[in-house]
Amino acid sequence: MKTEKEFHDFLENGDKYYIPNLTIDCAIFGYHGKELKILLAKWRGLDGWGLPGGFIKKKETLSNAATRILKEKTSLDKLYLKQFHVFGDSEFRRKEKEGLSFSPGNNRYLLPKNSWLHERTISIGYYALVEYSQVNLMTDYFIEELVWQDINQVPKLLFDHNEMLSYALRNMRINLYHIPIGYNLLPNKFTLPEIQSLYETILDKKLDRRNFSKKLLKLELIKDTKEVKKIGQHRSPKLYQFDMKKYNEALKNGIVLAI
């Protein structure tokens, strides 16, 4: 959605290209500075923050749609994406909208009463894990601004997006014990303290160093690179990286991580 022409075409004829009534919203998690971050989008004209989202093209698979929407916002195509829930029950999702308006540039654009965008939407929630440092945030005609927000400082969001986020987070935390994470959240090479800190941040609890390393290494998902990381006036921790063969097997077959 780069030009004003595209934008107006979308408002007027979007229902020819996209499936109406159905959207995808993404809870995009990143990790930085020992904080778990969520990507929030400020919608033009709506004067509020929400999760990034979009419509599904008429002939597109759901996974492609979710990947596309994410790529539009973050420029990433290497990420972990998972469908976690469909939202169609809340007050907001049961009724049609009215008087929606958008403000591309500085022009306020009020949607006509019978616009396809006023119809009720049911939203498929996906969550994504992405590598913070690789993300290149990109706004467009709908999204005025994108920011990474600490998961503990999320404001009141538009629509039912707070509920979505809370579902996403709960789901992600449960999945943590059954699928490997980290490949999409950490730099290529990382230390044990770093990955431990990632788990601690996501789970919001302290873990025992010795037990954590034993358990993680037993899974054999990461391997010693024989390099170390200089961290100044302290002992240099070893650098590890994921064994992609085993990591992908683990993604497929699941793991049991008892931390």
Site residues (CB under 8 A) for a copy of itself?
19-22, 56, 58-63, 83, 85-86, 88-89, 93-95, 120, 122, 124
Nearer to DNA, 120 or 229 (CB): 229
Nearer to a copy of itself, 78 or 95 (CB): 95
Residue 205, interface with DNA (CB under 7 A)? no
In whole angstroms, give the CA distance from residue 72 to residue 10: 16
Say if residue 213 is exposed, middle or buried (CB neighbours under 10 Å; 0-12, 13-18, 19+).
Answer: middle
| Residue 233: contacted member of a copy of itself, DNA, none (CB under 5 to 8 Å, by partner type) | DNA
The residues, any chain, with a CB within 8 Å of residue 59's CB and separated by 6 or more, are none
Closest CA to 116 of 58, 47, 49, 63: 58
Residue 209, interface with DNA (CB under 7 A)? yes
Task: Give the nearest distance from C-beta 95 to a copy of itself in angstroms.
Answer: 7
β-pairing, 18-32 vs 80-87, is: unpaired
In whole angstroms, give the CA distance from residue 182 to residue 246: 13
Q: In one letter, which amino acid is 244?
A: M
Task: Give the nearest distance from C-beta 200 to DNA in angstroms.
Answer: 12
Q: Which residues pair with 148 in a beta bridge?
A: 39
Q: Binder to DNA among 146, 192, 198, 202 (CB under 7 A)? A: 192
Residue range at the interface with DNA (CB under 7 A); choices 45-53, 78-86, 165-173, 204-212: 204-212
Task: Give the nearest distance from C-beta 62 to a copy of itself in angstroms.
Answer: 4
Find out whether 171 and 85 touch, Cβ atoms under 8 Å. yes
Residues that bind DNA (CB under 7 A): 191-193, 208-211, 213-215, 228, 230-238, 258-259
